[in-house]
Structure 1
Amino acid sequence: MPTCSSPRWSALNAGDADLPVLYRDRWVVVVDKPAGLLCQPGLGPAQLDSLIRRVQRCEPGLALVHRLDRDTSGLLLLARNPEALAAFSGLFAHRRVRKLYVADICTDPPAFAGLIDLPLARLQRHPPRYGEHPQGRASRTRWRVAASAGSLRRLWLQPITGRSHQLRAHLAALGCPIQGDPIYAADQGRSMTGRMHLHATALSFLHPFTGKRLRCRSAVPFASSLD
């Protein structure tokens, strides 16, 4: 059973910074995206730099299978050819990829674990902000407390659906915005690490070409009293 984890990183020399590569085969590359880097270019010259532009300098055929918010770090899949892009995109579309995130919050959640089932829609364009709306798209997130220290809580998050800002908006609706979130926790000020404490830490799926289960893990990159 193929596995990949951060101690086995190699580097993809991609422009301004090396990107850690956790797994590579004929069809897919799994990289560890740093916080603060767009997955694809945004609007305007200030948002041209992105992960996909960097990696395509090394391998022009790479394409994003899915995306993470700019302020979220962690595991990201890149397809190496159109056939692979269609196959891996299909796994995400049919919810056959198990995803696990880690988030730190500064407010006690209402229980030890739960399911957030709130439809989400974009409520604001600049900056984009999402929230509960009766005509929003169905959105579901499982969560569980992983660790506690003082006023801090670390959560495991399992998104069942994959909406824009889903984890951030769902935790904000729960009354527990993510530490350092520049949109949903702006009134809490900056985190001590200067970044949002949300990390895509694990992915697991049946490889559509080999038939074997691939499990990838990435160590949480932000330190806190919860470690």
Structure 2
Amino acid sequence: MTSHAHFSVIHEDAHLLVLDKPANLLSVPGRGADRQDCLARRVQTIWPEALIVHRLDMATSGLLVMARSAAVHRSLSMAFAARQVHKRYVAVVEGMLPQTALDAEGWSTIDAPLIVDWPHRPRSKIDPVLGKPSLTRWRVLPADAAAHPGMLTPDWHRPDDAHTVLELAPVTGRSHQLRVHLQSLGHPIAGDTLYGSPENQAMAPRLLLHACMLELVHPCTGAHMRWDCPTNFAVPTRNPCPSEGEISP
């Protein structure tokens, strides 16, 4: 892993980059002169040809891939659209969430259509009529989450209040999907300034959501690629953007 100004490179080759995006940094530029600092532009100061393929919410940290050519961008975009790219997230949610309705692999499922809440952008909401199909798989991790080195480092930030550690596997990639789906269970992600109560926001100095695993077939070599990026939910050294405003998967 190579560290640059406020982001780290997990993987670099002639065709693509895999990055560890810090929390509280936009993936792409937002609206307004004060919202131009973002991961894509920081990366492009080193690799001018790099193109964003997918996004993470500003408040979310973790793995993000960028293409180094238009052809690779097209191939990766098609793989995301076909759900051939697999992602895992680790989250700490408010309260004690019991595991329910397990499938054969130990996952529970949230199936709730989502739509952007336009009068309250950038928020999203569940809408059974107009919402787009949205599916999230989740499972509770053992209390000793340090036993999962691919997700959390031993020194991860553990809230003082009651909480549950989850592994999340989004099947679809709607805006704020994980945050809205978990809020719908009555267990919003700790430190969520958009969907959490004041008590929730006091649990952590940042949103405790991190993209910890990314798996795909390399668009040029055909090799099966997997990257793991554990987190301690550290607070970024600075917050380049004053508030959230990015609509992203």
1:20 aligns with 2:8: yes
Provide the rounded CA distance (Å) in 2 between the counterparts of 1:216 and 1:159.
Answer: 17
Conservation of the 8 A alpha-carbon contact between 2:79 and 2:85? yes
The aligned length equals 211
The residue correspondences of 1:26-105 to structure 2 (distance < 5 A) are: 26-105=14-93
Unpaired runs of 5+ residues, structure 2, are: 101-106, 145-160, 235-249
- The amino acid across from 1:146 in the alignment is L
1:182 aligns with 2:193: yes
Provide the rounded CA distance (Å) in 2 between the counterparts of 1:200 and 1:23.
Answer: 15
Conservation of the 8 A alpha-carbon contact between 1:23 and 1:30? yes
- The amino acid across from 2:9 in the alignment is V
Match of 1:131 among 116, 125, 129: 125
Q: CA deviation at 1:111?
A: 2.5
**Residue of structure 1 equivalent to 2:230:** 219
- The amino acid across from 1:120 in the alignment is L
Greater share of strand? 1
- The amino acid across from 2:222 in the alignment is G
Conservation of the 8 A alpha-carbon contact between 1:119 and 1:138? yes
| Structure 1 SS opposite 2:11 | strand
Q: CA deviation at 1:109?
A: 2.3
Match of 1:108 among 96, 102, 107: 96
- What's the % identity of the aligned pairs? 42
Q: CA deviation at 1:123?
A: 1.9
1:16-41 deviations in Å (ceiling 9; x for gaps): x2421111111100010000000111
| Structure 1 SS opposite 2:180 | helix
Provide the rounded CA distance (Å) in 2 between the counterparts of 1:103 and 1:52.
Answer: 24
Q: CA deviation at 1:187?
A: 2.8
Q: CA deviation at 1:192?
A: 5.0
List structure 1 runs of 4+ shifted beyond 6 angstroms. none
**For structure 1, which segment, 105-114 or 170-179, has the greater mean C-alpha deviation from structure 2 after superposition?**
105-114
1:121 aligns with 2:115: yes
1:65-107 deviations in Å (ceiling 9; x for gaps): 1000000000000100101100111110100011000000122
Provide the rounded CA distance (Å) in 1 between the counterparts of 2:231 and 2:10.
Answer: 14
CA RMSD of aligned residues (A): 1.7
1:106-132 deviations in Å (ceiling 9; x for gaps): 222252541000000112444411111
Compute the TM-score of the two structures, normalised by the length of structure 2.
0.80
Provide the rounded CA distance (Å) in 1 between the counterparts of 2:202 and 2:50.
Answer: 34
**Residue of structure 2 equivalent to 1:143:** 138
- The amino acid across from 2:140 in the alignment is V
| Structure 2 SS opposite 1:148 | coil
| Structure 2 SS opposite 1:138 | coil
Provide the rounded CA distance (Å) in 2 between the counterparts of 1:191 and 1:197.
Answer: 12
Conservation of the 8 A alpha-carbon contact between 1:123 and 1:129? yes
Conservation of the 8 A alpha-carbon contact between 1:131 and 1:173? no
Compute the TM-score of the two structures, normalised by the length of structure 1.
0.88
Question: For the structure 1 residues 23 and 191, does the alpha-carbon distance in structure 2 shift closer, same or farther, using more than 3 Å as the test?
Answer: farther
**Residue of structure 1 equivalent to 2:242:** none
Unpaired runs of 5+ residues, structure 1, are: 1-8
| Structure 1 SS opposite 2:141 | strand
- The amino acid across from 1:190 in the alignment is Q
Provide the rounded CA distance (Å) in 2 between the counterparts of 1:123 and 1:18.
Answer: 31
